């Protein structure tokens, strides 16, 4: 192994988060709700783009992340994406 091989790790510039219990790699430091869902779908998470995305907070609560809302990415973020049921 050359001394430079460690400089290009697979996670270089990527952050691993969890969507519906599945690991999802995202590029960069920020992503919108729509980008998080699109990445999850591309990486095999069984959700759809129109699902509601929620960030699961450490205190046991959650907040809804809209498609245009920007999230500061950091490791160990947990998201849940659920089908939107219109009860009106």
Domain-embedded: residue 42: yes
Task: Note the pLDDT tens digit of each residue in 62-72.
Answer: 999 999 999 99
Q: 30 with 72: CB under 8 angstroms?
A: yes
**22 assigned to some structural domain:** yes
Q: What value does the CA radius of gyration of the chain take, rounded to a whole number of Å? A: 15
- Using CA atoms, how far residue 15 sits from 27, 33, 73, 84, 88, in Å, is 6, 15, 7, 27, 37
| pLDDT tens digits, one per residue of 13-50 | 899 999 999 999 999 999 999 999 999 999 999 999 99
Alpha-carbon torsion angle 15, 31, 44, 25, nearest 10 = -10
Give the domain CATH number at 29: 3.10.20.90
Residue with tokens 């699902």: 51
68: which DSSP letter? Answer: T
Host domain of residue 47: 13-82
Kindly report the pTM of this predicted structure. 0.82
Residue 7 domain flag: no
């Amino acid at each position: 192994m050359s001394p430079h091989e460690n400089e290009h790790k697979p996670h270089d510039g990527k952050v691993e988060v969890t969507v519906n219990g599945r690991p999802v790699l995202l590029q960069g430091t920020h992503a919108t709700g729509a980008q998080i869902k699109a990445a999850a779908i591309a990486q095999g998470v069984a959700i759809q783009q129109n699902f509601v995305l929620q960030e699961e907070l450490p205190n046991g609560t959650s907040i809804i992340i809209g498609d245009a809302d920007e999230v500061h990415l950091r490791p160990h973020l947990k998201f849940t994406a659920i089908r939107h049921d219109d009860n009106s």
